[in-house]
C-alpha cells in the first residue's frame, strides 16, 4: 500500500499550526527532493520514503523553539524522531519505511554520514532551500558546502544554476 503524499502534506500543514515560514520551507524541501530524486532515477518506495521524509524532516522545530529557544539542527534531530514516528503512525506505513523516515529525520543535519541516496538527496534539498531562505549565506558559503556535501548530479546542477556556481574538478559533472 503506498502512502498518500498529498494527505501527509496536508496533515503536516495542519500540524504546523499556521507557521507559514515552516510550511513553505518543508514544501520547498519536498519539491527539491522530488525533483532531485526523479533526476537521479528514484522511483517506487524509495522516492516515496524520500518525499515523506522531506515533508516531515523539520517536525521537531517548533518543539525546539519552545523547549530550548533554539532551532539548532542537532536539537531538531533529537526532538524530531519521536514526533515523526508518532505523526506518521496515522498513515499505516510499512515498519521498514517508517523506520527509515524516522532515521532520516533524526540525521538530516548530519552532513557527512549519508548512508543512502535518499539521505543524500534530503541533505541537498534542505540546503538548497535554506540557502535561498537565509540572507546569511553568501556565494562562497554555498560553494564550500557544494564541494563538501553535494554528491548527486541533479542536486549539483540545480545548485550551480540557482547560485551561478562554477564547476570544479572535485564535483560531479
Q: What is the DSSP string of 36-92?
A: HHHHTT--HHHHHHHHHHHHHTTTTHHHHHHHHS---HHHHHHHHHHHHHHHHGGGT
Share above pLDDT 70 across residues of the chain, in percent, rounded to a whole number: 93
Burial of 144 (0-12, 13-18, 19+ CB in 10 A): exposed
Rounded Cα gap, residues 91 and 48, in angstroms: 13
Average pLDDT score over residue span 20-49: 97
| pLDDT the model gives residue 136 | 77
How far apart are the C-alpha atoms of 91 and 84, rounded to whole Å?
Answer: 11
Give the SS3 label for residue 103.
helix
Only one residue has cell 541516496, namely 117
- pTM (predicted TM-score): 0.91
Per-residue pLDDT, 109: 81
Q: Between these two residues, 120 and 78, which has the higher pLDDT value? A: 120
Question: What kind of fold does domain 5-126 have according to CATH?
Answer: Hypothetical protein af1432 (1.10.3210)
Mean of all residue pLDDT scores within the chain: 90
Instruction: Give the pLDDT confidence score for residue 89 in this predicted structure.
Output: 96
Indicate the pLDDT class of residue 1, thresholds 50, 70 and 90: very low
Per-residue pLDDT, 115: 95
- 80-136 pLDDT, tens per residue? 899 999 999 999 999 999 999 999 999 988 888 899 999 999 999 999 999 999 877
Pull the grid cell for residue 41. Answer: 532515477
Amino acid at each position: 500500500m503506498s502512502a498518500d503524499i498529498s494527505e501527509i502534506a496536508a496533515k503536516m500543514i495542519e500540524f504546523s499550526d499556521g507557521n507559514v515560514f515552516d510550511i513553505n520551507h518543508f514544501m520547498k524541501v519536498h519539491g527539491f527532493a522530488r525533483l532531485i530524486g526523479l533526476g537521479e532515477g528514484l522511483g517506487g518506495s524509495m522516492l516515496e520514503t524520500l518525499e515523506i521524509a522531506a515533508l516531515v524532516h523539520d517536525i521537531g522545530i517548533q518543539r525546539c523553539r519552545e523547549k530550548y529557544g533554539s532551532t539548532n539542527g542537532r536539537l531538531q534531530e533529537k526532538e524530531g524522531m519521536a514526533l515523526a514516528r508518532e505523526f506518521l503512525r496515522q498513515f499505516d506505513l510499512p515498519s521498514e519505511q517508517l523506520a527509515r523516515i524516522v532515521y532520516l529525520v533524526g540525521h538530516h543535519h548530519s552532513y557527512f554520514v549519508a548512508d543512502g541516496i535518499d539521505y543524500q538527496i534530503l541533505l541537498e534539498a534542505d540546503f538548497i532551500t535554506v540557502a535561498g531562505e537565509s540572507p546569511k549565506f553568501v556565494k562562497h558559503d554555498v560553494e564550500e558546502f557544494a564541494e563538501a556535501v553535494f554528491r548527486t548530479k541533479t542536486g549539483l546542477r540545480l545548485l550551480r544554476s540557482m547560485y551561478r556556481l562554477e564547476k570544479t574538478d572535485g564535483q560531479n559533472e
